[in-house]
Structure 1
Amino acid sequence: MSASAQPHFPSRRGILNTATGLVAGAAMPLVGARPAHAALPRAATQEPQVAAASFTNPVIWQDFADIDIIRVGDTYYCSASTMHYSPGAPILRSYDLVNWEFAGHSVPRLDFGAKYDLNGGRGYVRGIWASSLAYRPGNRTFYWLGQIDFARTYIYSATSVEGPWTRHADLPNVYYDAGLLVDTDNTLYVAYGNSQISVAQLSPDARSQVRAQQVFSTPASIGTLEGSRFYKINGNYYIFLTRPANGQYILKSTSGPFGPYTLRQVLLNLPGPIPGGGVPHQGGLVQTQNGQWYYLAFVDAYPGGRVPALAPVTWTSDGWPQLQLVNGAWGTTYTSPSLPPPPRQVEPLTGVDTFQGTTLKPAWEWNHNPDNGRWAVNDGLRLTTATVTNDLYTARNTLTHRIQGPTSTATITLDHAQMRDGDRAGLAMLRDSSAWIGLKRDNGTTRLVMVDGLTMDSNWNTTGTGTERATTAITGTRVWLRAAADIRPGTGRQARFSYSTNGTTYTTLGPAFTLNNAWQFFMGYRYALFNHATQALGGTVTVSRFELTTP
């Protein structure tokens, strides 16, 4: 594939399908497969330790796609795709499967070539795709495994999800959309592939491949299967596969990790819990410490992105999972998992950040790798211009934060006393069609502006660098900038910008900006803080406060 060619994204090519109805799952034995009669995974044997309650889907109304989920002791972790954002592969933590917090990132920096530095190229819609998170009890180590640029597979490891994470191994093999399994004897296996599904066994040190074998070929009547998640349950091996973007299937082997496997459909065209959104798919299964099973999947809900939803799972007597439906659909509400009381309350995904300490909180991710010599935190975030460009998509050190749905507001306090002529700084709604509110300094004068018309084409090349839609004079050196976003699918998907000179009274600036709900960029909109130069480097702004609120 040439560097200039549009890459083929088989896992993400399906248009959202919101058709109704659940198709019954008939088993499809492979050639040579013998009947499978798996034991039922153990039922709950402990009394609930907390009063029954209910939860509402989506359990996380933020953009987390291609979910992998595990439990280690009494703690749950999930990982997700992040494409061109750095650090990559975020890890969320929960004690009840419903309330989640940021814990860290498996990939500290996208060390996969200069394009991920916005240096001589771009990594938009590349980088961290569907990947896998696992825990190996034998050496008490977490592993992240992912394929980058169709070239090779990387493994990162850490003894704590908070890190430090280090690159453990670079495998020459390409394990596309892989799922990592730690077997009961600590052997590592990988399930991977698009339509042609294979299983590989890794060496004991996880640095090389011992064996690989194709175990399944997807029938033409189904189409594409990928997004592998690999499990061993009561002695049977299961490969959970997605049919993008509207189905989920599962393979089962009673004869070991290399099969033979039998296929059964889990869901197809199932109505999801977000009005106007897609079919929940491409997630993972997890068993609670009380023996219950749950499926955490994502719902295509652009312009917000791919949003996680949770549903309980039961098992048939012959060892197949069944999703628990509500009136023939993925439930908007379910009874909460019966679990021990959490050791503490998780940190909310909304709230205030005043950038204390010397590191960013893990809720933040840069657009491509940052230039670490040109930003700092400690009683505020200092952004010194890192790129001379009139194109925000080319500018380094743009710091992003996921939007909380269905509606939320981001407000920043910005000190602009050290801006220089030609600098542009502010708060953006960032995607392949973007807009922002902020400051332009030219000829010794600083103006407040609202800009839209920042656009990319289907190859992620810039086609528009922005059109100024409104402006006003600004006095003083501090301004409050605000973006209010409605990311519900449908016609109301808009962002509105406003500003304040005292932090109390806000004035709208510019027209409402309609958010793009096309799926091809895959990531949803983000709030973004930026400061770039159009003339010369050296200018600085300080964000002393970021607040994310919901109605």
Structure 2
Amino acid sequence: MKIKFIFLNSIVSVCLLLTINIYGQDNKAHNPIIFADVPDASMVRVGDTYYMSSTTMHMNPGVPIMTSKDLVNWKLISYAYDTLGNSDELDLKNGKNMYGRGSWASCMRYHNNTFYVSTFSATTGKTYIFSTKNPENEPWQKIEFQPSYHDHSILFDDDGKIYMVWGAGKLNIAELKDDLSGVKEGTERVLIENASAPAGDNIMLGAEGSQLFKIKGKYYLFNITWPRGGMRTVVIHRADNINGPWEGKVGLQDLGVAQGGLIDTPDGRWFSYLFRDNGGVGRIPYIVPVKWENGWPILGEEGKVPWTLDLPANKSLIPGIVNSDDFKRSKKDKDLPLVWQWNHNPDNSLWSVRERKGYLRLKTGRIDSSFVQARNILTQRTIGPESTGSTLLDLSKMKEGDFAGLCLLQKEFGLVGVKLENGTKKIVMVSAPKGQPKEVQSVTINQNKIYFKAECDFRDKTDKAHFFYSLDGKSWIQIGDTINMPYTLPHFMGYRFGLFNYATKNVGGYVDFDYFHISDHISKTNQ
């Protein structure tokens, strides 16, 4: 019996160690630091506080700004802009859209007590620079100019000059005007003819995603490249002078973790922030330790991305990155918390959290024949390794042809909603494999309140989801097919939970959403 007890105790100990290694219960941080779509990060540290910008492309407001005290646990504090402007592409009008475009990789800097975030848009053909003294409590001021400088990075140099680096494969550099209103004429030149060269000759993604730093008098340039048949790779160049000569090397080639830059801690340690393509949940951030050898930053542990980090343990992404919302607002509250973003530009006349206390009202104002062209889809990120989004709708003010419900938004979207057809309400599940929507199942109902939920499984890139409905909020019934959730380049974004309502025949109807609840687990029946 004693031998059996020792044997069982050993098994328990091993299982506990495995649990610690897998789930980070040893009070250390683990990668990914954020299991959600937060790509193209750019970071600065001001005192003991870190700030990060990211990419959300066709979502508005755009360029999310986050803050952290430990490099691991982040919360949203603002956005650089509400909208980039107005056009058919930005407004989802006349069959046009900006899926996968909008604004791309941003650059965050801190200079002379001011925060700067710059980005660019192939949709508008412009470059944007936003600034504020206080990113959490003051608005961002905007400067815009042409052309659109691809994947650029800004550096405020010690001599007062301001440089911008941009491009893919061939990287260019120019000085910016003192007021940041554009590039100084005559300063544009080639910085590095072939920045991908350290990763070999057979390249399918030329070095891009530039992030330029000056550390202890030396210039360091980080880029991402992709050797054909290989994986996304970090390439680093360095120089003693901004004009070169530049020497380059592969900085990291593991798990496809790449694109980012350098950040230091108040106690003098260095890390690199990067991201990894992770299927349907999106591009997720990683942190790797950095050591300095002979003036080079050495990324990872023996060239590998570590699972655990000597940083504080990860907490839940709820409420910092995503959060539930009961739509209850006081007079002092903002209409929408920062976790929410609209798909493309919203029509602000067609939604409200004030007209009916404790509800989000989505009204119809035009006829739409396509779900992905419908305006005012209100979204939040899905999160991994698994997550559930649920909602309750009041359907009593729908009009003939209206369609409202809960979706998982990407090119190959899935949704469950209620259609009002020929005076009859029916629950409909739609799946869109290869972007081609099809009605999979429908159920007639005779009531004006309906509960929906969507469950997402991103464990080990399972990338599958199920939809459910309930007539009473207690008993749930699965509806339709399991949907696959591939990451597609036309949308270039991880799947998002979304609340929607659009008209196909008559305008003027509306639905009221009682709540949206998000959790970081799914029901046992789907595990």
Aligned to 1:510, what secondary structure does the other structure show?
Answer: strand
Q: Does 1:332 align with 2:312?
A: no
Specify which of 352, 356, 359 is matched with residue 335 of structure 2.
359
Match of 1:448 in 2: 427
Q: Which of the numbers 130, 143, 159 marks the counterpart of 2:105?
A: 130
Aligned match for 1:294, one of 266, 271, 281: 271
TM-score (norm 2): 0.85
Report the AA paired with residue 237 of structure 2.
L
Q: 2 CA distance for matches of 1:175 and 1:471?
A: 48
Shift of 1:68: 1.0
- Hey, what does 1:35 align to over in structure 2? none
* 1:284 counterpart residue number: 261
Cα distance between partner residues in 2 of 1:200 and 1:500: 59
Partner Cα separation in structure 2 for residue 402 and residue 203 of structure 1: 37
Report how far residue 471 of structure 1 moved: 2.0
Contact in 2 for aligned 1:57/1:332 (Cα 8 Å)? yes
1:479 to 2:450 alignment:
yes
**Matched residues in 2 for 1:511 and 1:221: separation?**
45
Segments of structure 1 that go 5 or more residues without pairing to the other structure are: 1-51, 272-278, 457-463
Equivalent position to 2:234, from 234, 237, 248: 248
Which amino acid counterpart does residue 266 of structure 1 have in structure 2? G
Matched, 1:195 2:149: no
Amino acid in structure 2 at the alignment position of 1:127? G
Alpha-carbon distance in structure 2 between the residues aligned to 1:139 and 1:349:
26
1: distance between equivalents of 2:158 and 2:396?
A: 60
State the partner residue of 2:55. Answer: 81
Secondary structure of the 1:128 match is: coil
- The Cα offsets for residues 109-133 of structure 1, whole Å up to 9 and x where unpaired, read as 1316331101232111111112212
Question: For 2:179, what is the secondary structure of its paired residue?
Answer: coil
CA deviation profile, 1:262-287 (whole Å, cap 9, x unmatched): 1121012x13xxxxxxx111122111
1:204 aligns with 178
Higher normalized helix content (fraction of residues): 2
Q: Identity across aligned pairs (percent)?
A: 33
Partners of 2:307 and 2:56 in 1: how far apart?
26
1:35-64 deviation digits (Å, cap 9, x = unpaired): xxxxxxxxxxxxxxxxx9411111101111
Corresponding residue for 1:319? Answer: 295
1:531, distance to aligned residue in structure 2 (A): 0.1
Q: What secondary structure does 1:193 align onto?
A: strand
**Structure 1 vs Structure 2 CA RMSD:** 2.3
Paired residues for 1:369-448 under 5 Å: 369-378=345-354, 379-448=358-427
The Cα of 1:525 is off from its aligned counterpart by 1.1
Which position in structure 1 is the counterpart of 2:6? Answer: none
Going from structure 1 to structure 2, the CA distance change for 1:445 and 1:112 (only over 3 Å counts) comes to: closer
The structure 2 residue matched to 1:507, chosen from 463, 477, 481, is: 477
Q: Relative to structure 1, is the Cα distance of residues 519 and 152 closer, same or farther in structure 2, using a 3 angstrom cutoff?
A: closer
Mean Cα displacement is larger for which, 509-518 or 192-201?
A: 509-518
Q: Distance in 2 between matches of 1:281 and 1:115?
A: 30
Contact kept in structure 1, 2:108 and 2:115, CA below 8 Å: no
The AA in structure 1 aligned to 2:517 is: E
Q: CA–CA distance in 2 between the matches of 1:303 and 1:231?
A: 32
- Structure 1 residue aligned with 2:42, among 58, 61, 68? 68
* d(CA) in 1 for partners of 2:509, 2:124: 39
Contact 1:296 1:309 survives alignment (8 Å): yes
In the aligned structure 2, how far is the partner of 1:336 from the partner of 1:139?
27
CA distance in 2, matches of 1:388, 1:129: 30
In the other structure, the counterpart of 1:237 is 219
Residue 280 of structure 2 aligns to a residue in which SS?
coil
Change (3 A) 1:251 1:123: same
Contact (CA 8 Å) 2:132, 2:141: kept in 1 or not?
A: no
Q: Following the alignment from structure 1 to structure 2, what is the Cα–Cα distance between the partners of residues 384 and 98? A: 39
User: Which of 535, 541, 545 is the matching residue for 2:511?
Assistant: 541
Return 5+ residue gaps in structure 2 as ranges.
1-25, 522-527
Distance 1:130 1:141 in 2: 17
- Residue 116 of structure 1 aligns to a residue whose secondary structure is helix
Separation in structure 2 between the aligned mates of residue 425 and residue 179 of structure 1, nearest angstrom = 42
Residue type of the alignment partner of 1:288: T
Count of paired positions: 474
